[in-house]
Amino acid sequence: MNAPDGITDDTRLTPLRLIIMLFVLTLAGALGWAVCSLPEYSSGLAVTALAELSNSGVLNPVTAAVLNYRGYDTLLEIAVLLLAVIGVWSLAQAEPPAAFEPASPVLLSFMRIVLPLMILIAGYLLWIGSFAPGGAFQGGAVLAGVLVLLRLSNQDFAIWSHEVWLRFCLVLGLSVFIAVAVGVMAGGGKLLEYPRAHAGMLILLIESAALISIALTLAALFVGGRALSDEDSSSASENGVQPK
């Protein structure tokens, strides 16, 4: 079987692979047995989660779990997203826009219809997250789709060239989250312990900031490298390379 880049990835069953397969099958068997021995009905944390819902500031238990009950977990996950972008940016530089073919007129007119709708849906998902399935992660994924479409049609140079704004928006979600997490301690609470009266508003504030950061993070990963900043492009043009 030939991999697309020409490296032969042979699938023969060598003795080593047989050992790996036996090991994996044993592990799968043990895991499967453990799954089968689980009780048929278990409320898990659902009872507690629903009982505390009136204190969480939102009406959707999943959003309450993401941003209130397990807020610490989500805070660290947003930090992981930022770390991934920092990692990718330190490894690679984005392809210059000239590397792509000009977008077809069909794609461009399709985008004119669909992009405003997608931005609207992202905001709707963020808003509805407080009482129905939705939230910053879902809205962020849709908004990232907007940026990916702009990338594919070669229309997004303006977004990736404003590096100060780009970096500001990438860290916005994490900064707001940390500011709120620490800020509630001023009122006498513990870290991430939102005051009950303002919990809904604080969650919406964190989610709005996280939405922007999640969308930009996913799109930055799709672009796959640090875009040329103004300094880089000016030094590049000094070397005879056109920045645009």
Partner 1 sequence: MTLEPYLLYALAGVGLFAIGLYALIARTHLLRKILALNVMGTGVFLFLVAIAYRSEPVADPVPQAMVLTGIVVSVCATGLALALAHRVQTTTGRMVLPENDESGA
Which residues contact partner 1 by CB under 8 A? 3, 5, 7-9, 17, 20-21, 24-25, 27-28, 31-32, 35-36, 38-46, 49-50, 61-62, 64-66, 69-70, 73-74, 77, 80-81, 84-85, 87-88, 91-92, 135, 137-138, 140-141, 214, 217-218, 221-222, 224-225
Q: Between 76 and 179, name the residue whose CB sits nearer to partner 1.
A: 76
Q: Between 23 and 234, name the residue whose CB sits nearer to partner 1.
A: 23
Q: How far is the CB of 24 from partner 1 (least distance, A)?
A: 4
Query: What CA–CA distance (Å, rounded) separates 61 from 192?
Result: 17
Question: Among residues 117, 170, 115, 124, which one has the least CA distance to residue 146?
Answer: 115
Q: Between 57 and 140, name the residue whose CB sits nearer to partner 1.
A: 140
Q: Give strand pairing partners of 2.
A: 8
Q: Give strand pairing partners of 93.
A: 226
Q: How far is the CB of 109 from partner 1 (least distance, A)?
A: 29
Q: How far is the CB of 33 from partner 1 (least distance, A)?
A: 10
Q: How far is the CB of 169 from partner 1 (least distance, A)?
A: 16
Q: How far is the CB of 63 from partner 1 (least distance, A)?
A: 8
